[in-house]
Amino acid sequence: MAPIKTCVLGVGLAGLTFHVPFILALSDLFTLYAVLERNPRSPGGKVKERFGVETKIYNTIDEVVGDEEIELVIVATPNDTHYALAKAALEAGKHGRNISISYLFPNKIKGTCPIWIPEQAVGLGPHCPQKLLALPPSSPQYLGNLLEFESHYDRYRPGIRASWKDGAGAVYDLGSHLLDQALKLFDRPAKITAFIQNIRGVTKPEVDDIFTIYLHYNIGSPFPNPFTVLLRSHILSAKASQLRYTVRGTEGVFTKYGLDTQEEQLKAMPTVRDIFAAGYGEEPQEIYGTVENIATDHVTITKSIWLSDAPGQYVELFRNLAGAIRNNEELEVKWAETTQVIEMIELAYKSSKEGLLAGLVHTRSPLTMSVPAVVIHVELPAHSKSFDIRVPESATILDVKQAISSVCIGHPRPDGQRVIWRGRCLDDQEKISVLWPCQDDQRIVHLSVRPSAWTSDPPSAVSTMLPSLHTTVDPVKKNPLAGSQQDSSSTRSTSDTNNSLAFIRFKHSQALCWLSNSKLTAPSPLEDMDIKRSAAKLALERLGYTWPDILDANCPLASPTSPDTIDYEIITIDGKAYLSLLTPRGTPSPLQIHALNVLTYTFSVLALPPSRPSPTPTFSVPNTSSVPPQVNDLLRDLGLPPLRAAPNANIDVTAQPDCRRSTWHSRAC
pLDDT in tens, 262-279: 888 888 888 888 888 888
Nearest by Cα to 263 from 123, 163, 78, 160:
123
Lowest-pLDDT range, 31-40, 139-148, 322-331?
Answer: 322-331
Q: What pLDDT is recorded for position 491?
A: 45
Lowest-pLDDT range, 74-83, 186-195, 572-581, 592-601?
Answer: 572-581
Question: Secondary structure of the chain: what % helix, strand, coil (to 5)?
Answer: 30, 20, 45
Does position 228 have pLDDT exceeding 90, yes or no? yes
| Inter-residue contact 568 to 596 (CB < 8 Å) | no
Higher pLDDT, 652 or 385: 385
Taking CA 307 as the corner, what is the angle to CA 265 and CA 281, rounded to the nearest 5 degrees?
15
- What DSSP string runs through 144-167? -SEEEEEEE---B-SS--TT----
Q: What pLDDT is recorded for position 96?
A: 55
Q: What pLDDT is recorded for position 440?
A: 74
Question: Looking at residues 451-476, what average pLDDT do you find?
Answer: 55
- What DSSP string runs through 188-239? --SEEEEEEE--S-SS-TTS--EEEEEEEE-SBTTBSS-EEEEEEE-SB---
Q: What pLDDT is recorded for position 164?
A: 60
| Digit-coded pLDDT (tens) for 230-253 | 999 999 999 988 999 999 999 999
Q: What pLDDT is recorded for position 348?
A: 93
> Which 3 state secondary structure label does DSSP give 1?
coil
In this structure, are strands 30-36 and 4-9 parallel, antiparallel, or unpaired? parallel
- What DSSP string runs through 429-496? T-BHHHHS-STT---EEEEEE-GGGBSSPPPPPPP-PPP-----------PPPPHHHHHHHHHHHHHH
Check residue 467 and give left, alpha or beta (phi > 0: left; psi -120 to 50: alpha).
beta
Q: What pLDDT is recorded for position 497?
A: 52
Helices (H), 216-364: 262-268, 315-327, 335-354
**Inter-CA distances, 347 with 297, 368, 495, Å:** 43, 7, 53
d(CA 354, CA 359) in angstroms, rounded, equals 13
586 Cβ contact list (under 8 Å, min separation 6): 564, 565, 566, 567
Lowest-pLDDT range, 26-35, 408-417, 641-650?
Answer: 641-650
In this structure, are strands 444-449 and 373-380 parallel, antiparallel, or unpaired? parallel
Does position 146 have pLDDT exceeding 90, yes or no? yes
Q: What pLDDT is recorded for position 309?
A: 64
The fold for domain 4-115 equals Rossmann fold (3.40.50)
Lowest-pLDDT range, 100-114, 207-221, 384-398, 634-648?
Answer: 100-114
Q: What pLDDT is recorded for position 196?
A: 94
Q: Which phi and psi (to 5°) does residue 213 adopt?
A: -125, 125
Does position 487 have pLDDT exceeding 80, yes or no? no
| Inter-residue contact 120 to 177 (CB < 8 Å) | yes
Locate the domains of the chain by residue range. Answer: 4-115, 130-327, 373-453, 495-606, 624-667
Question: Looking at residues 511-516, what average pLDDT do you find?
Answer: 86
| Digit-coded pLDDT (tens) for 379-417 | 888 777 888 888 877 788 988 998 898 788 888 888 889
Burial class (CB in 10 A: 0-12, 13-18, 19+), 132: buried
Residues above pLDDT 90, as percent of the chain: 26
Is the omega angle on the peptide bond into residue 222 within 30 degrees of 0, that is, cis?
A: yes
Q: What pLDDT is recorded for position 110?
A: 29
Categorize the per-residue pLDDT at 159 as very low, low, confident or very high, splitting at 50, 70 and 90: confident
Q: What pLDDT is recorded for position 500?
A: 81
Categorize the per-residue pLDDT at 344 as very low, low, confident or very high, splitting at 50, 70 and 90: very high
How many other C-beta atoms are found inside a 10 Å radius of the C-beta of residue 427?
Answer: 10
In this structure, are strands 624-625 and 646-647 parallel, antiparallel, or unpaired? antiparallel
Does position 614 have pLDDT exceeding 50, yes or no? no
Q: What pLDDT is recorded for position 265?
A: 84
For the chain, first and last CA: distance in Å?
A: 116
Q: What pLDDT is recorded for position 467?
A: 36
Most confident of 101-110, 296-305, 364-373, 551-560: 296-305
Q: What pLDDT is recorded for position 137?
A: 87
d(CA 656, CA 669) in angstroms, rounded, equals 13
Q: Which phi and psi (to 5°) does residue 634 adopt?
A: -70, -40
In CATH, 130-327 is 3.40.50.2300: no
Taking CA 534 as the corner, what is the angle to CA 533 and CA 537, rounded to the nearest 5 degrees?
85
Q: Which phi and psi (to 5°) does residue 657 adopt?
A: -80, 145
In CATH, 373-453 is 3.10.20.90: yes
Question: Looking at residues 633-649, what average pLDDT do you find?
Answer: 58
Does position 359 have pLDDT exceeding 80, yes or no? no
Higher pLDDT, 294 or 633: 294
Higher pLDDT, 125 or 424: 424
Q: What pLDDT is recorded for position 564?
A: 64
Categorize the per-residue pLDDT at 605 as very low, low, confident or very high, splitting at 50, 70 and 90: confident
| Digit-coded pLDDT (tens) for 113-139 | 333 333 434 434 556 788 888 888 889
Categorize the per-residue pLDDT at 197 as very low, low, confident or very high, splitting at 50, 70 and 90: very high
Residues above pLDDT 70, as percent of the chain: 74
Categorize the per-residue pLDDT at 652 as very low, low, confident or very high, splitting at 50, 70 and 90: very low
Average pLDDT along the chain: 77
Residues 174, 180, 183, 188, Cα dihedral to 10°: 80
Most confident of 8-12, 260-264, 476-480, 625-629: 8-12
